[in-house]
Amino acid sequence: EAGVTQFPSHSVIEKGQTVTLRCDPISGHDNLYWYRRVMGKEIKFLLHFVKESKQDESGMPNNRFLAERTGGTYSTLKVQPAELEDSGVYFCASSQEGNIGYGYTFGSGTRLTVV
């Protein structure tokens, strides 16, 4: 089975530009999560989708970040406008509904560099 796919794997943008990250979860996984790790810090939760609905977006840092999950399939995370402190690695994960017993499957991450 295909894993969680994220792209791009790397992105370098200038401050003030817009970037959109994409995550394709494992087919059939209703739960989709975004996390990020900024330089030298812990991996932090951003938000959680159940199908197309936002279950928990308590970790979103500010309104420059917009996450969507159209049709309950893939998800996008848009940063607009990007700031220097947004640099880091953005991870996506998916799981079957309520199936924490089997843990998540994480993607390889998108490394975002804002210059």
Partner 1 sequence: AQSVTQPDIHITVSEGASLELRCNYSYGATPYLFWYVQSPGQGLQLLLKYFSGDTLVQGIKGFEAEFKRSQSSFNLRKPSVHWSDAAEYFCAVVPTDSWGKFQFGAGTQVVVTP
Site for partner 1, rule CB under 8 A: 3-4, 31, 33, 35, 41-45, 48, 55-56, 91, 93, 95, 100-101, 103-104, 106-109
Strands, E assignment, the chain = 5-7, 10-13, 19-24, 31-38, 43-50, 53-56, 65-68, 75-79, 88-95, 105-106, 110-114
- CB of 32 or CB of 79, closer to partner 1: 32
Closer Cβ to partner 1, 76 or 108, answer by number: 108
Inter-residue contact 15 to 84 (CB < 8 Å): yes
Closest separation in Å from C-beta 98 to partner 1: 8
The smaller minimum CB distance to partner 1, of residues 74 and 106, is found at 106
Q: What is the C-alpha to C-alpha distance for residues 107 and 39, in angstroms, rounded to an integer?
A: 18
User: Distance between CA 73 and CA 26 in Å, rounded?
Assistant: 9
The count of other CB atoms within 10 Å of the CB of residue 8 is 13
Give the nearer residue to partner 1 in terms of CB position, either 1 or 42: 42
Minimum distance between the CB of residue 31 and partner 1, rounded to whole angstroms? 6
